[in-house]
Structure 1
Amino acid sequence: MFSPRPCSRHRLVQGGIGAMLLAGAVLGAPAVLAEEIAIACGSGDAADYCPIAARQWAEQTGHSVQVVSTPNGTTEKLSLYQQLLGSESSDIDVLMMDIVWPGMLGNHLVDLNDYLPEGATEGFFPALVDNNTVDGRLVAMPWYTDAGLLYYRRDLLEKHGHSVPETWQELTETAEAIQAAEREAGNDDFWGYTFQGRAYEGLTCNALEWVASHGGGTLVNAEGEVTIDNPRAAAALDLAASWIGNITPEGALNHTEEETRGIFQSGNALFLRNWPYVWSLANGEASEVAGKVGMAPLPHGPEGESKATLGGWNLAVSRYSEHPELAADLVAFITSREQQKAHALRMGMNPTIESLYQDEEVLASNPSMSELYETLTNGVPRPATVTGDAYARVSNAFFNRTHQVLSGDLDGASAVQQLGRELERLGRRGW
């Protein structure tokens, strides 16, 4: 059975499989107690599917599931989890986890290797499995994923005789040329490139892509060594700063995903960096650019290759769950190939199982999935697992220094030098 509201943590099995078990009890066999599993699976698009999958699991197993609503904002959601887990509460069995949380919350989560069959992670993107493995413990299973992408106006590139840029320098030059031409034609609000420049986690994602695609590393490497203080990283930040007020509006310094989507979708930008969710919206009925949008991997620096920051959500089991085996079974069910395919078809979410990017039904429902596959295979995880509890401070330091460069308060070399020292101090405290 499926329960959307609090109720007792166990009950006699009834209906479906439960009816057969209860019938056995009538014949003299002992009654079988079914348990209730509570899952916190967020809100928004993904949460709309979570109750559906949970209901199916409940119907198949005879147990019940309580879906617990959590705050919309990731910061507020994390705070709630930290409060619950810090108090060793058993109220929540399964938690929906942001990709950067396993290292921060791993000590409060069970090792799923102890509950799932051998080979349970086969077929998943290796980078996502690695991200969810903390000190050799698999603390979460990948559910759906995201990666940064470049959206572009196909019609304008064709009109002005330009191709999709492969390097950041090509993007800069193409954006300058087409922006000038469109403004001369009368669109004074037109910009060449828009991205998320506010001092928040979204800027960490953008800046990590700039730096990694220039061959400047990923802030902190897999061994926990700080790598950000290098000339390629500095050059990447300086190039990004040159966009502000030139091909990117100064307002980008306070823009998040939705502001940038709005600029692009209203027809006032040539290029946009954003997540895969934009594809369906930019081609929807309310979009001024429907049918004119293309999608490609992000550009790269002169000595690098395209890199996209990985996003997405995972499912984990609390160490304080009273029913870890059942909770792990629910996690395995929701993240199974069958359920991920249904999630992709019904909600347009991006699977974490590689073979689904060649699935005919999935591709028919969203042709962009095939283009997304290569981006995901080369995706860059944020250094959250290796830095653990310190990741929030690492990211905060990175996006604040980057924001200073974009604002003209620091140059790239000074920023990476200062950032390197900050991260070294954090590292010495242990991560």
Structure 2
Amino acid sequence: MQRKFLIASGLTLLGTAGAAPALSAELTISCGAVGAELTLCEQGVEAWENETGHDVEIVSTPNSSTERLSLYQQILSARSGDIDVLQIDVVWPGLLANHLIDLEETLGEDAAEGHFETIVANNTVDDRLVAMPWFTDAGVLYYRKDLLEKHAVAPPETWQQLTDIAVEIQAAEREAGNDKLWGYVFQGRAYEGLTCNALEWVASHGGGTLVDADGEITIDNENAATALDLAASWIGEITPRGALNYTEEEARGIFQSGNAVFMRNWPYAWSLAQSEDSEVAGKVGVVKLPHGPNGESAATLGGWNLAVSKYSENPELAADLVAYLTGEAEQKRRAIEAAYNPTLTSLYADEEVLEAVPFFGTLYDTFTNAVARPSAATGDNYGRVSNAFFNAAHGVLTDEQDGADAVAELDSELSRIKRRRW
């Protein structure tokens, strides 16, 4: 079994004085540790090791995508080869492209054949395939089937219905003795996860996508303000104040322990909620996210890819590892064992995959039509744009300002960023 080490901060790079001992492995790969990510990565890497005879070190990086990006940027800017294969967010190819190899040069022009075309296009920068799709994501709504059936209500189609159902069930269950139950949990910390949630609220209210495909700023409108105000009304009422610091795992912990009626999360939470040690196993349903009165359901496009650092000493070997981990067999295994959405279209018709994760079939359109964050339109400035958005949304959730003031100020801040030419 390969050894693992942790890079917790970009302040000290491996291989520098006082850092970790020199590595004996031929390759290193960064893997996330949200849900079953790390375990699945370990298993996939071990299978490749057994097949090829090569060794791999697994680097466990911060789970917060915001912190992980900062770490990557510091390592790559130093032209460090400490990490050969990087797990990168779907919004990062444009930001990191100059530090990544063209995988088509190593793996061939058909390297990404069969993967979702939209993700392949997302990962192609200046005609260079800088990352291979590994798993895709879109926000979904988890709900307690048993509680909705008990109270004779159907899953909500609108955010107002979700609010009303959450208020009703929370009050009734607390009166019956379940004083820990909350109506709705989501990712409310000021980080990239809140950008995803807030984009879903705004887009599903007909408030646009923050910045449109042409780079025009669209956030300052009444529908966007209404969406943020509605979300703020949940805090302390149907959503615990602690949610203001929740990431994916904190929200999952509350829901999986039986203490929430609804949860917004990514598909990975399905297999964990259905596990033997879950308090809600067999009691969970999944549907598309609700919408506002002036919009349609909107799920933010998520997902992660694998890329090879330009500074790797073994780029061809690293590319081979990427091809293996993103291949059909590995993607199918990850889908069945832990509900990670494949990026290969053929697996959405695979009977074994659909038996393990039924909503991969029923919510297929949700995954293929997810709303992209404006990383393509804003280029190198996406990090600043996202930070401005999630801080503005967090300010509304914490009652520092209302939705109208927040979107107006955000419009001004984004205009200043835009002048830097995105």
What secondary structure is seen at the aligned counterpart in 1 of 2:232? Answer: helix
d(CA) in 2 for partners of 1:420, 1:208: 15
Could you give the per-residue CA deviations for residues 220-253 of structure 1, whole angstroms, max 9, x where no partner exists?
2223222211222112112212222332233322
d(CA) in 2 for partners of 1:206, 1:384: 16
**1:23 counterpart residue number:** none
1:260 aligns with 2:251: yes
Equivalent pair of 1:103/1:386 in contact (CA under 8 Å): no
Change (3 A) 1:305 1:401: same
Could you give the per-residue CA deviations for residues 100-159 of structure 1, whole angstroms, max 9, x where no partner exists?
322221111122233333343333223322332334432111101222111111122122
d(CA) in 2 for partners of 1:58, 1:280: 26
**1:237 counterpart residue number:** 228
Give the counterpart of 1:172 among 141, 150, 163. Answer: 163
What secondary structure is seen at the aligned counterpart in 2 of 1:183? Answer: helix
1:176 shift after superposition: 2.3
1:296 aligns with 2:254: no
* Pairs within 5 Å for 1:13-24: none
Change (3 A) 1:288 1:87: closer
d(CA) in 1 for partners of 2:284, 2:74: 43
**1:69 counterpart residue number:** 59
d(CA) in 2 for partners of 1:286, 1:411: 41
Equivalent pair of 2:104/2:110 in contact (CA under 8 Å): no
d(CA) in 2 for partners of 1:177, 1:342: 40
d(CA) in 2 for partners of 1:293, 1:197: 22
Farther off after superposition, 368-377 or 238-247: 368-377
d(CA) in 2 for partners of 1:155, 1:177: 15
**1:15 counterpart residue number:** none
d(CA) in 1 for partners of 2:242, 2:3: 42
**1:40 counterpart residue number:** 30
1:212 shift after superposition: 1.4
- Equivalenced residue count is 403
What secondary structure is seen at the aligned counterpart in 2 of 1:103? Answer: helix
Equivalent pair of 1:317/1:324 in contact (CA under 8 Å): yes
Equivalent pair of 2:271/2:338 in contact (CA under 8 Å): no
**1:198 counterpart residue number:** 189
Change (3 A) 1:264 1:112: same
Could you give the per-residue CA deviations for residues 76-109 of structure 1, whole angstroms, max 9, x where no partner exists?
5434422332122334332221223222211111
d(CA) in 1 for partners of 2:278, 2:27: 41
**1:212 counterpart residue number:** 203
**2:387 counterpart residue number:** 396
Give the counterpart of 1:310 among 266, 291, 301. Answer: 301
Farther off after superposition, 325-334 or 216-225: 325-334
d(CA) in 2 for partners of 1:69, 1:253: 29
**1:129 counterpart residue number:** 120
Change (3 A) 1:371 1:109: same
* Pairs within 5 Å for 1:63-142: 64-74=54-64, 75-142=66-133
Farther off after superposition, 72-81 or 330-339: 72-81
1:70 shift after superposition: 3.3
Change (3 A) 1:305 1:3: same
Could you give the per-residue CA deviations for residues 172-211 of structure 1, whole angstroms, max 9, x where no partner exists?
2222222333233333333222222222222111101101
Farther off after superposition, 228-237 or 376-385: 376-385
d(CA) in 1 for partners of 2:421, 2:401: 28
Equivalent pair of 1:196/1:206 in contact (CA under 8 Å): yes
Change (3 A) 1:327 1:162: same
Farther off after superposition, 143-152 or 321-330: 321-330
Change (3 A) 1:48 1:158: closer
The amino acid of 1:221's aligned partner reads D
d(CA) in 2 for partners of 1:38, 1:273: 33
1:424 aligns with 2:415: yes
Percent identity reads 64
d(CA) in 2 for partners of 1:360, 1:272: 27
**2:318 counterpart residue number:** 327
Equivalent pair of 2:138/2:367 in contact (CA under 8 Å): yes
* Pairs within 5 Å for 1:153-164: 153-164=144-155
Equivalent pair of 1:70/1:77 in contact (CA under 8 Å): no
Change (3 A) 1:359 1:404: same
1:340 shift after superposition: 1.1
What secondary structure is seen at the aligned counterpart in 2 of 1:115? Answer: helix
1:60 shift after superposition: 5.1
1:294 shift after superposition: 0.9
Change (3 A) 1:60 1:375: same
1:49 aligns with 2:40: yes
Equivalent pair of 2:267/2:339 in contact (CA under 8 Å): no
Equivalent pair of 2:256/2:278 in contact (CA under 8 Å): yes
1:284 shift after superposition: 2.8
Change (3 A) 1:202 1:77: closer
Give the counterpart of 1:279 among 263, 270, 280. Answer: 270
d(CA) in 1 for partners of 2:74, 2:90: 19
Change (3 A) 1:267 1:345: closer
**1:224 counterpart residue number:** 215
Give the counterpart of 2:332 among 322, 325, 341. Answer: 341
d(CA) in 2 for partners of 1:97, 1:220: 22
